[in-house]
Amino acid sequence: MQDKIADGPDHYQGIRYQTAGAQMDTQSKYGMADYTYYGSSLGGADLSPFTVDEGSLIAGAGDSALGAMWEPQTLDATKVYHYRNDAGFFNEGVVVPEAVVSYTNNTTTDKKNHVLDELTLNFATHNIGFKSVWDNITMTATIPAGLTVDPKTMKAKLNDGSEVNVDVKSYNASTHKITYKLPKDLADNEWTTVSVDTKINSKASNKTLQPSMVSQGGKVLYNKASAQTDIPVELAPTVIDKTVRNESEKETEYQDTTQVHARDVLGFKLKFTVDEKSSTMKTTALLDEMDKKLELVKETGKKPIKVDYSDGTTEEFDSLGSMTLKQMEPGDSATITYKAKVMDTAIEGDILSNKVTTLSELPDTSTTASESEVSMETVKPKDSKVHFEYMTVQLEKLLMIQSLFRVKLVNTFQPEQLLKVILMEVRM
């Protein structure tokens, strides 16, 4: 019997029937020891339940039964409630794969999830078989775009309680997936849990996020398990959404992430929106944290940052650290655009990040915040192709050619004041 499932029971018991009636024999460590079973009802009888480890034998012979109980709940006629209880029967030597997705909100004080709350996601892989081994397991977790992942916090907790770090490259920011091969096979009743710290971003406002996972491996009959969980997020008064595109690579669509090379020029777009159900925002300060390997692109005579408001007005700013938007009403929005260049210090494998945080003041002087972040992976430059071209030019143009193409002139000769020159053009 397995109760570590969504909508599963709060308490349960294993019962072995004896000649004189019914007697409580044992209880899972996942249950609580304050309910007992007698006859056909939970509670009431003065019996002493005790706990045992998962996988222990509770009924070796004779008749037995299982009891489950959920805490009392007041039902609302406008809502749907789910109750689930699983029990299975199988022979020894059979792998029974299981996956469990759960989360802990490390910030909330009202048991609800809000934008900017910090969550720890847990992706657990479990073998609930009997005298079996689940081998060669790979776990793939999909994390919604409404959660900003900190790959440096990924770790795996093994069945013996020890923890190992998970390589940051196991997380793909483009697909929002963690792919991890479990370091050990799982015998029956063993677990391995991969965890990662995340933060709820503005994309999650008023939505239900669904992180999911699939664990698969081995050549056994049953070798795959999947699971997901729901994370409902409260409506945020304001939302900021930041996206990026690589303009040097001729990208036309803004997205959450992209690949870059040193010296690439990137375009950034930020859209700030006041929700229609919110209040007037008297002012909004934007703090845009530029990665240290990015630099703002500036053009002579122009301010590099432009703001387009939904009412048709515009503003321009000189610095990312000095942006304060004008008063905005419910339903209003502002789009901020600028360009940045990847510096020569960026090398293959570097993950560049750019995060923006907003702080808005309401008419009652209270404040509300929102946040959005994009990431960029620095990749190996494309293979260069060298193109050679022969040109015949007059002697007096040599200096101009050398200056224009910045190449060394080779293989020259001078019949009748003409030179044959090899020009080299590097095409990326």
Furthest-apart CA pair in the chain: how many Å?
123
Tokens of residue 225, six digits:
């398990």
Residue with tokens 């044959």: 420
What is the 8-class DSSP label of residue 16?
E
Mean pLDDT, the chain, rounded, equals 81
Question: What is the predicted pLDDT for the residue at 211?
Answer: 97
Of 95, 88, 127, 131, nearest to 220 by C-alpha is 95
**What mean pLDDT comes out for the span 9-16?**
66
Residue 237 in 3-state DSSP?
Answer: coil
Q: Which of 210, 225, 150 is nearest to 375 (CA)?
A: 150
The pLDDT of residue 134 is above 80: yes
Residue 94 Cα distances to 91, 187, 270, angstroms: 6, 11, 53
pLDDT digits (tens, 9 = 90+) for 382-408: 655 444 444 444 555 555 555 554 444
Beta strands at 257-260 and 367-378: parallel, antiparallel or unpaired? parallel
**121, 84, 83, 123: which is closest to 100 by C-alpha?**
123
Tell the residue number behind the tokens 């938007």, with chain if given.
325
pTM score: 0.69
Residues 6+ apart with CB under 8 A from 19: none
* pLDDT score at 394: 52
One-letter amino acid for residue 377 of the chain: E
- Among 164, 146, 314, which residue's Cα sits nearest to residue 230? 146
pLDDT digits (tens, 9 = 90+) for 224-266: 999 999 999 999 999 999 999 999 999 999 998 999 999 999 9
Rounded distance, CA 378 to CA 220, Å? 40
**36 compared with 245, residue with greater pLDDT:** 245
Residue whose C-alpha is closest to residue 419's, from 400, 391, 399 = 391
- Give the CA count within 13 Å in the CB-facing half-sphere of 93: 0
Neighbours of 8 (CB within 10 A): 18
Give the CA distances from residue 276 to residues 116, 148, 205, 319, 357, in Å, rounded to whole numbers and listed in that order: 20, 25, 13, 30, 20
